[in-house]
Amino acid sequence: MKVIFPKFRSLIFVSAVLAGVLGLSACNPYIHQGKTVEAAAPQHFSMVIETYKDGQFMLNGALLSREELASHFRYLAETKKLPKTVLLKPSEKYDIKNPQLRWFAGLQLSFGFTGYADLDGTLTLVNARPDAKQKKK
């Protein structure tokens, strides 16, 4: 009986822990209903970039191509003045297009800032990750 008792006690302990975890996860509305979790976004962004036609961007009133925007970020990196948070938002006339969002995500990967995008009135954290092929290099 002494051999069975420790196994029985550990079995009771493991089942109690498992029941507790399942009970807590059932009470969490985000897990139970599959909702998205909202995070606190900054009230102020270090830089705000607006979209423009033909894949161009507006920065502080200046119209920049993709290459010019990347060049500006390289200059900021050289002078150690990179922004910490950057917001990509649609201009009054032009919405954010997928190529612009992908370019913005590439800038985020290259320069290490936290990127946010205003997608249809919803502030979204851009969570860019390198491609699996790029990781191997």
pLDDT at residue 6, as a whole number: 58
Instruction: Give the global pTM.
Output: 0.65
- pLDDT band (50, 70, 90) for residue 90: very high
Read off the tokens for 80.
Answer: 């150690």
Read off the tokens for 18.
Answer: 């498992």
What are 7-65's pLDDT values in tens digits? 666 666 656 555 555 455 455 454 444 455 555 566 689 999 999 998 899 999 999 99
What's the fold here for domain 47-133? Answer: Nucleotidyltransferase; domain 5 (3.30.420)
Q: What is the mean predicted confidence (pLDDT) over 87-98?
A: 92
Phi, psi of 114 (to 5 degrees): -90, 120
Residues 6+ apart with CB under 8 A from 113: 46, 47, 82, 83, 84, 85, 86, 107
Rounded to whole angstroms, the Cα distance separating 9 from 101 reads 56
Q: What is the mean predicted confidence (pLDDT) over 82-109?
A: 92
Q: Are 88 and 97 in contact (CB under 8 A)?
A: no
Question: In this structure, how many other beta carbons lie within 10 angstroms of the beta carbon of residue 1?
Answer: 5
